[in-house]
Structure 1
Amino acid sequence: MNWLTDYVRPKIQGLLYKEIPDNLWKNCESCGQMLLIKDLEKNLNVCPHCGYHIRASTSQRLEWTFDEGSYTKIQLPKTITDPLQFKDKKKYIDRLKENRNKSQQDESIAVAHGKILGHNTVVAVMAFEFMAGTMGSAFGEGFLAAVRLALLKKLPFIVFTASGGARMQEGMVSLMQMPRTIIAVEMLKEAKLPYIVVFTNPTTGGVTASFAMLGDIHIAEPDALIGFAGPRVIENTVHEKLPEGFQRSEYLLEHGMVDIVVQRHALKQTLAKVLALLCNKNQPLEN
């Protein structure tokens, strides 16, 4: 037995090479650069190399949006968990449990109220981390609860969209949330309360075909995918090559579907200015 090779060297290597946790780094989805998660979060999940806006969690959205990250979340109404008793490779009810554990969210929407640079506002955030932000009966109830809160408090309503569309496991029940959310938006308009939609990447399917396109003001983060069907589906249907940047924020801005494209760092200030204009109030100069 070679004492130096078999015993001393492994001990030294064990001291020099410590195991690095795999949750410290993240690769940018656009440029591929390796980013330290701690620094990335300080930069609001925007890649410092290429400016790509990496998807944010629901809790991050709420923290970034409200003053000093202070807000009050509301309890959302309970609904039938599995209206169709759906099952594919696994039971729908089991998928819901998995997603709740993984995302730490009860459903694909969170609703809170608080101040945005001094403006009292109700905010709903779609949780893409929960079943890709899909819209089911619980989402519909959550959206209606947010609108009722805005009506009760006579406050503007902002929704951050991020969704893959309707939830297939709920079939027609999911599709019925489209007219329900549209009616809710009409209630806001009748009450003359501002309704602002902030599109984040991606916003697709029934969400785009319903409440997301009815805002008084449409704001989008850069390069967000916004549309009903995906680009590949459209290309395969029409058998034509789509224009460069089709269904992205900047393309929709050029064609009048989006009012403004805003970098994430400037989003809070922009929302405050829009709220001041729509609510006919003086805009606070400082946070």
Structure 2
Amino acid sequence: MSWLTEYVRPKIRGLLQREVPDNLWTSCESCSQMILIKDLERAQKVCPHCGHHMKATAKERLDWTFDNAEYTRIELPKSPVDPLSFRDQKRYTERLKDARAKSHLDESLAVAHGKIGGNDAVVAVMAYEFMAGTMGAAMGEAFVAACRLAVLQRAALVVYTASGGARMQEGVISLMQMPRTTIGVEMLRDAGLPYLVVLTNPTTGGVSASFAMLGDVQLAEPEALIAFTGPRVIQDTVREKLPEGFQRSEYLRDHGMVDMVVKRPELHETLSRLIGLMTNKKNEEAKPALETA
């Protein structure tokens, strides 16, 4: 072996080869194409190849929704922990501890207030990363707190839904949050404030059967699963083949359950326009009464 192969060639290879970090790339779960993580973050986690909307964290949705990602998070009300002393493979308290450590959230709902297109707004985001966004007593309390804050600030309430349904570890207490959250929506209606719902993938179970379907305007991200019971369970029950795209956002829009299907990068502008139209209309209706008075 000559000095060229033993010494020079390894040196050249060392100069040409650069270490590539393991977290530089990811693959789309829909089309399997490789995507630079920086490009994916810039596109708000929408695949540039096929347009697939990947799951987003609660913090990411708050950053994308508020003007210049400027907002103030609120402290959520305290609720009883593990009211049923529930245990399956693990204690419920241990599951909560693990979920909080993993998600850096106290519960499956994050609430903040700020501006959307210059309009005052309160935004509540369901965190699928926290026990699949399941609905328990603490989440119900957080939702009502968001409604009260919106009424106090005379602001619109925007809710992003993403949930696997009721939280089995809280039994009937979880189901009680369905009427409780509905009362929160009625508070907004009584105050004449806009309530906008953005349905994301997936929105199922008790969430879809309560506050998720009560918006003044129902928006949804493309191809989001929106259902009470999953399509496989329904198909096994009725023993019939379901229509193409059944329970997806486009199907629900075509059948009158959803008003608009909006791509994620267009949501901020759409919400801004809707809140502006709804609040300006209310202000104009209030003017004649004030002038008469």
Same fold (TM over 0.5): yes
Residue 174 of structure 1 aligns to which amino acid in structure 2? S
1:116 aligns with 2:107: no
SS of equivalent to 1:113:
strand
Identity score, percent = 66
Distance 2:78 2:155 in 1: 24
Tell me the CA shift for residue 22 of structure 1: 3.3
Tell me the CA shift for residue 81 of structure 1: 1.3
Distance 1:21 1:197 in 2: 39
1:111-162 deviation digits (Å, cap 9, x = unpaired): 0000001011011000001011000111001001000001111111110000
1:190 aligns with 2:190: yes
1:27-49 deviation digits (Å, cap 9, x = unpaired): 11110111111110011111000
Tell me the CA shift for residue 104 of structure 1: 1.1
1:264 aligns with 2:264: yes
2:122 and 2:149 in contact (8 A); partners too: yes
2:117 and 2:273 in contact (8 A); partners too: no
Distance 2:13 2:57 in 1: 38
Partner of 1:199 in structure 2?
199
Moved more, 111-120 or 16-25: 16-25
Distance 2:130 2:15 in 1: 41
Partner of 1:77 in structure 2?
77
Partner of 1:65 in structure 2?
65
Moved more, 18-27 or 70-79: 18-27
Distance 2:269 2:16 in 1: 47
1:222-248 deviation digits (Å, cap 9, x = unpaired): 111101000101101111110000000
The 5 A counterparts of 1:139-178 are: 139-178=139-178
Q: Taking structure 1 as reference, are residues 18 and 225 closer, same or farther at Cα in structure 2, changes over 3 Å only? A: same
1:238 aligns with 2:238: yes
TM-score by length of 1: 0.92
Tell me the CA shift for residue 11 of structure 1: 9.9
Partner of 1:226 in structure 2?
226
Residue 180 of structure 1 aligns to which amino acid in structure 2? R
Residue 44 of structure 1 aligns to which amino acid in structure 2? Q
SS of equivalent to 2:245:
coil
Partner of 1:22 in structure 2?
22
Which protein has the larger Cα radius of gyration, Structure 1 or Structure 2? 2
Distance 1:11 1:110 in 2: 53
Number of aligned residue pairs: give it.
280
SS of equivalent to 1:280:
helix
Partner of 1:100 in structure 2?
100
Tell me the CA shift for residue 265 of structure 1: 1.3
Residue 272 of structure 1 aligns to which amino acid in structure 2? S
Partner of 1:285 in structure 2?
none
Q: Taking structure 1 as reference, are residues 80 and 51 closer, same or farther at Cα in structure 2, changes over 3 Å only? A: same
Gaps of 5+ in 1: 283-287
TM-score by length of 2: 0.90
Tell me the CA shift for residue 10 of structure 1: 9.8
Residue 134 of structure 2 aligns to which amino acid in structure 1? T
1:125 aligns with 2:125: yes
SS of equivalent to 2:84:
coil
Residue 188 of structure 2 aligns to which amino acid in structure 1? L
Residue 53 of structure 1 aligns to which amino acid in structure 2? H
Tell me the CA shift for residue 253 of structure 1: 0.4
SS of equivalent to 2:143:
helix
Moved more, 96-105 or 252-261: 96-105
SS of equivalent to 2:280:
coil
